[in-house]
């Protein structure tokens, strides 16, 4: 690994590390989900005559050149503080055993503070079929009091976890509510383009969804895929609300409340992000039925974060069990819609409720061939 050429302040390092620990604590212990789960507004059409056996359902899929046993990834969550090592170890062991993808949390802490890099690199101990590294878009441009990450840092993040792709997460909703948020955004797209010219980049929202316009901008910037990270599940506005309350920051707490449910619903964002790239659908997936709905809408894989967090604090077996339940539910949904494969589910009919259709009503026309 090339030598670190960054000299972050002590405060910056500590802030990053303790923030990641607080996020996990809040998601485990507080109601930090959006008030409406938009997956309830999508229904699959029942098929009374599947004409194949349940055991014939084949959920395998290729994503970024890697073969997954099911169209599922454990979405980026954590790393960078001592307890995160166990969480990432359990997630990685389970992802390897079950054959699904895994993202680690933002690696800024690991890049700034090499002594915590092991809390991320532990995932290399397992044969996870698809590993996704992670850095934040705001850190790619100059911010007050924080280190700018360059392409070399991107390479280091990839090497740290043996990743197949590097996620650049877009989290301005969180940054705007967060007491110490990085709210400069000018120039980010050009930086994503620079990174994408050198490294395999996946752009990922973190709970506010991706619009068609942004999806086109990202595609033109050269990203390899988009995780739409829509609203409906974990709300980072909610998470930062709890942090702001604790810090007695009334303005940020109020922002957190006001923007609790902000964003594009995940199901709609899948349609919006239909620009010919693989789409990962993260945001509010509770079970395999939600994941099957995501595939029916055109995603290549569903992504689950918070649902895997509690089991990950217990053991790899607990995560395996949680994943196996999700896969059994997904198989049932495929069987009951008469779809044997991912390709068939992509072609399947579905029903959107009026509340979702009102979003779809403003979609710009785009080809349904891809």
Ligand X SMILES: Cc1cc2nc3c(=O)[nH]c(=O)nc-3n(C[C@H](O)[C@H](O)[C@H](O)COP(=O)(O)O)c2cc1C
Residues that bind ligand X (CB under 6 A): 23-24, 27, 75-78, 105-106, 134, 167, 169, 204, 206-207, 229, 233-234, 282-285, 304-307, 309
Provide, rounded to whole angstroms, the least separation between the CB of residue 141 and ligand X. 17
Q: Helix, strand, or coil here: 110?
A: helix
Place of tokens 């068939």: 344
User: In this complex, which beta carbon is closest to ligand X, that of residue 128 or of residue 339?
Assistant: 128
Q: Which is nearer to ligand X, 234 or 337 (CB)?
A: 234
CB nearer ligand X, residue 72 or residue 304: 304
- In whole angstroms, how close is the CB of 304 to ligand X at the nearest point? 5
- To ligand X, the closest distance from the beta carbon of 343 in angstroms equals 25
Question: Toward ligand X, which CB reaches closer, 24 or 42?
Answer: 24
- Of 272 and 339, the one with the shorter C-beta distance to ligand X is 272
Sole residue written with tokens 């969804």: 209
Q: How many CB atoms lie within 10 A of CB 341?
A: 15
CA distances to 33, 268, 313, 345, 366 from 352, rounded to whole Å, are 22, 10, 36, 16, 18
The tokens 């607080």 sit on which residue?
22
Is-contact 64 224, C-beta < 8 A?
A: yes
Q: How far is CA 334 from CA 45, 267, 338, in A?
A: 10, 18, 6
Judged by beta carbon, residue 261 or residue 341, the one nearer ligand X is 261
Give the HSE-up count for residue 364: Cα atoms under 13 Å, Cβ half-sphere. 11
User: Minimal distance in Å, beta carbon 46 to ligand X?
Assistant: 26
Give the residue at shortest CB distance from ligand X. Answer: 233
Question: Minimum Å distance from CB 195 to ligand X?
Answer: 15
Which one, of 146, 122, 141, 105, lies nearest residue 14 by Cα?
146
Nearest-approach distance from CB 231 to ligand X, in angstroms: 9
């Amino acid at each position: 690994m090339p030598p670190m050429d960054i000299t972050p302040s002590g405060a910056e390092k500590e802030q990053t590390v303790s923030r990641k620990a607080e996020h996990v604590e809040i998601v485990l212990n507080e109601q930090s989900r959006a008030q409406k789960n938009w997956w309830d507004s999508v229904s699959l059409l029942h098929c009374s005559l599947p004409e194949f056996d349940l055991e014939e359902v084949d959920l395998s899929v290729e994503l970024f050149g890697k073969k997954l046993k099911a169209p599922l990834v454990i979405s980026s969550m954590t790393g960078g503080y001592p307890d995160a090592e166990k969480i990432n170890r359990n997630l990685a062991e389970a992802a390897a055993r079950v054959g699904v993808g895994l993202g680690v949390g933002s690696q800024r802490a690991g890049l700034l503070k090499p002594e915590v890099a092991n809390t991320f690199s532990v995932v290399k101990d397992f044969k996870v079929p698809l590993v996704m590294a992670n850095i934040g878009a705001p850190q790619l441009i100059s911010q007050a009091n924080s280190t700018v990450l360059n392409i070399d840092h991107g390479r280091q993040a990839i090497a740290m976890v043996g990743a197949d792709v590097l996620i650049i997460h877009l989290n301005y909703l969180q940054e705007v509510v967060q007491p110490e948020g990085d709210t400069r955004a000018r120039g980010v797209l050009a930086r994503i383009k620079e990174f994408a010219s050198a490294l395999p980049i996946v752009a990922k929202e973190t709970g506010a969804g991706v619009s068609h316009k942004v999806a086109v901008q990202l595609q033109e910037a050269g990203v390899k895929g988009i995780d739409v990270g829509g609203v409906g599940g974990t709300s980072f506005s909610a998470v930062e609300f709890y942090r702001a309350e604790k810090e007695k920051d009334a303005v940020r707490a109020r922002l957190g409340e006001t923007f609790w449910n902000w964003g594009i619903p995940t199901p709609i964002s899948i349609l919006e992000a239909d620009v010919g790239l693989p789409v990962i659908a993260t945001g509010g997936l509770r079970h395999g039925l939600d994941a099957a709905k995501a595939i029916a809408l055109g995603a290549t894989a569903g992504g689950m974060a918070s649902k895997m967090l509690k089991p990950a604090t217990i053991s790899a077996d607990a995560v395996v069990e949680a994943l196996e339940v999700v896969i059994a539910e997904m198989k049932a949904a495929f069987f009951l819609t008469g779809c044997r494969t991912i390709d068939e589910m992509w072609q399947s009919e579905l029903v959107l409720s009026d509340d979702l259709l009102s979003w779809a009503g403003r979609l710009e026309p785009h080809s349904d061939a891809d």
